[in-house]
Amino acid sequence: MTLARVIRFGLVGLVNTACYYGLYLALRLLVPYLAAHVIAFLVSMVGSFFLNCYFTFRRRPTWRRFLLFPLSNLTNFVVTSTGLVLLVRFAGMNDRIAPIVAASVAVPATFVVAKLILVGREPEQLPGAAL
């Protein structure tokens, strides 16, 4: 069950990243790059919330979950940023490779936080969601 969730979480992450980047590129034609980034990030985070509710964790979206979901993105940002600094500054790793290594640590941490926010300690599944 958890392995299937982790795989689905990774797939949602790939879709989310592609949507973010496509939207960023499109918006970049209309607004400054930072505004494009913020708008694309927020839109893709909303999409990620619904995909993770329905597809990854098989849970009904609620306002409470929606309002707490950004904590999973914050977790990803903090773990990736901290890992990047530690790997480059203290471990001497190449700054082009370090983000990939840091992300490999951040994804499981993000999964745990997202699971706690969207699932809690289990029960309540959507009807017909036996995966």
Residue 91 lies in a domain: yes
**The pLDDT of residue 57 is above 70:** yes
**The pLDDT of residue 50 is above 80:** yes
Residue 57 lies in a domain: yes
Predicted pLDDT of residue 68: 92
Residue 128 lies in a domain: no
Predicted pLDDT of residue 124: 46
Q: Which two tokens stand for residue 77?
A: 């940002």
Residue 25 lies in a domain: yes
Model confidence band, residue 131 (pLDDT cutoffs 50, 70, 90): very low
**The pLDDT of residue 127 is above 80:** no
Residue 69 CA from chain centroid, whole number: 9
Total structural domains in the chain? 1
Predicted pLDDT of residue 130: 46
Q: Which residue has the tokens 């490779």?
A: 97
For residues 30 and 3, the model is more confident at 30
Residue 73 lies in a domain: yes
CA 119 – CA 10 distance, rounded (Å): 17
Predicted pLDDT of residue 125: 52
Residue 63 lies in a domain: yes
Predicted pLDDT of residue 72: 87
Residue 130 lies in a domain: no
Cα distances (angstroms) measured from residue 50 to each of 53, 65, 67, 115? 5, 10, 12, 13
- What's the domain range around 56? 2-118
Residue 131 lies in a domain: no
